[in-house]
């Protein structure tokens, strides 16, 4: 592959995702450079895309290439290019009815993920999706990352107790927010679920928490929750409580990296508000 011909794909923080065009066809190339990636990261993402294909709109895998350290060539994953507009760009342009329609479509996506069972929680380690067990206890996790805010321990304990009421494990995208969802601007249906880098076997409310972390337009939140609750057999109020509790894990991890990027910094601000008020639903 001619790496010099690649153009950065808009919207990502990693700087490792590019668009390639040849013969009028566009593809997306993800390069796994640096030490932050697990050795089998490209194979894991390829396998996850194969697992969900037919259930969710995801790109086709066109090529998976292993790293060649001796030649200085990183691993890469080449997928098809999906049409649609990123949710974070589309949602601000919609009226209340449009926001609700888009929210319902996003809610169906997250509910589908929440219904894909896994046997145990943990990280995927290879292309066979073998799992390395990992299930953080919230208070201990925050302490291990050095996130020490007044009131956080009490909130984390209450959140962990709530999460323990739901023992199921499912496939979690773990970065499911409007930036990683493509929507058709006409029908407002989701046309693509992107960036599965953090996919793992986790808590069934992880992705719902991510989806509603910063996007809190009442019409959007209500539509997401109604769609999710209808498919997963719960109530919108309970789904939201569990979503906020599950998202506390991600907020703690992001807060430990505050300043690294705008999302991490905003997450740290949100976590401070939650710790200060003792309310999982608190905003900045």
Residue-range domains of the chain with CATH: 3-80 (3.30.200), 85-277 (3.90.1200.10)
Task: Tell me what percent of the residues of the chain surpass a pLDDT of 70.
Answer: 96
The DSSP H or E segment spanning 170 is strand 170-172
| Model confidence band, residue 2 (pLDDT cutoffs 50, 70, 90) | low
The 10s digit of each residue's pLDDT in 133-188 is 998 899 999 999 999 999 999 999 999 999 999 999 999 999 999 999 999 999 99
Q: Which token pair is 237?
A: 């109020």
pLDDT mean over 218-232: 97
Residue 74, pLDDT score: 86
Residue 70, pLDDT score: 83
Nearest C-alpha neighbor of 180 from the set 36, 9, 64, 41: 9
Q: Are 127 and 40 in contact (CB under 8 A)?
A: yes
Q: Are 32 and 76 in contact (CB under 8 A)?
A: yes
Instruction: Report the chain's terminal Cα–Cα distance, integer Å.
Output: 45
pLDDT mean over 77-89: 96
- In whole angstroms, give the CA distance from residue 213 to residue 283: 9
- Angstrom CA distances, 103 to 34, 144, 189, 233, stand at 36, 35, 9, 18
The 10s digit of each residue's pLDDT in 231-282 is 999 999 999 999 999 999 999 999 999 998 899 999 999 999 999 999 999 9
Q: Is 140 helix (H, G, I), strand (E, B) or coil?
A: helix
On the question of pLDDT at 31 being above 80, the answer is yes
Residue 4, pLDDT score: 54
Residue 198, pLDDT score: 93
Torsion on CA atoms 250, 252, 257, 258, rounded to nearest 10: 110
Residue 190, pLDDT score: 98
Q: What is the DSSP letter of 117?
A: B
Burial of 216 (0-12, 13-18, 19+ CB in 10 A): exposed
pLDDT mean over 225-230: 97
Q: Which token pair is 135?
A: 């299930």
């Amino acid at each position: 592959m001619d790496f010099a011909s690649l153009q950065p794909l808009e919207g990502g923080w990693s700087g490792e995702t590019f668009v390639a065009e040849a013969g009028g066809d566009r593809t997306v190339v993800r390069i796994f450079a640096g030490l932050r990636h697990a050795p089998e990261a490209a194979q894991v993402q390829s396998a996850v895309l194969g697992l969900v294909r037919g259930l969710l709109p995801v790109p086709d895998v066109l090529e998976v290439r292993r790293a060649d350290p001796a030649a200085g060539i990183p691993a890469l994953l080449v997928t098809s290019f999906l049409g649609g507009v990123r949710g974070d760009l589309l949602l601000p342009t919609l009226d209340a009815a449009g926001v609700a329609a888009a929210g319902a479509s996003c809610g169906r996506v997250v509910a589908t993920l929440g219904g894909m069972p896994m046997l145990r929680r943990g990280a995927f380690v290879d292309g066979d999706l073998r799992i390395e067990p990992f299930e953080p206890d919230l208070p201990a996790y925050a302490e291990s990352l050095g996130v020490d805010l007044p009131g956080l321990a009490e909130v984390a304990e209450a959140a962990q107790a709530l999460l323990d009421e739901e023992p199921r494990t499912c496939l979690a995208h773990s970065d499911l927010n409007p930036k990683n969802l493509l929507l058709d601007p006409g029908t407002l249906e989701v046309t693509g679920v992107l960036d599965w880098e953090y996919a793992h076997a986790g808590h069934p409310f992880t992705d719902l928490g991510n989806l509603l972390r910063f996007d809190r337009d009442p019409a959007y939140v209500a539509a997401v929750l109604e769609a999710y609750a209808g498919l997963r057999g719960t109530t919108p109020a309970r789904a939201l409580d569990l979503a906020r509790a599950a998202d506390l894990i991600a907020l703690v991890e992001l807060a430990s990296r505050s300043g690294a990027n705008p999302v991490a910094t905003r997450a740290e601000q949100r976590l401070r508000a939650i710790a200060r008020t003792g309310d999982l639903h608190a905003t900045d």
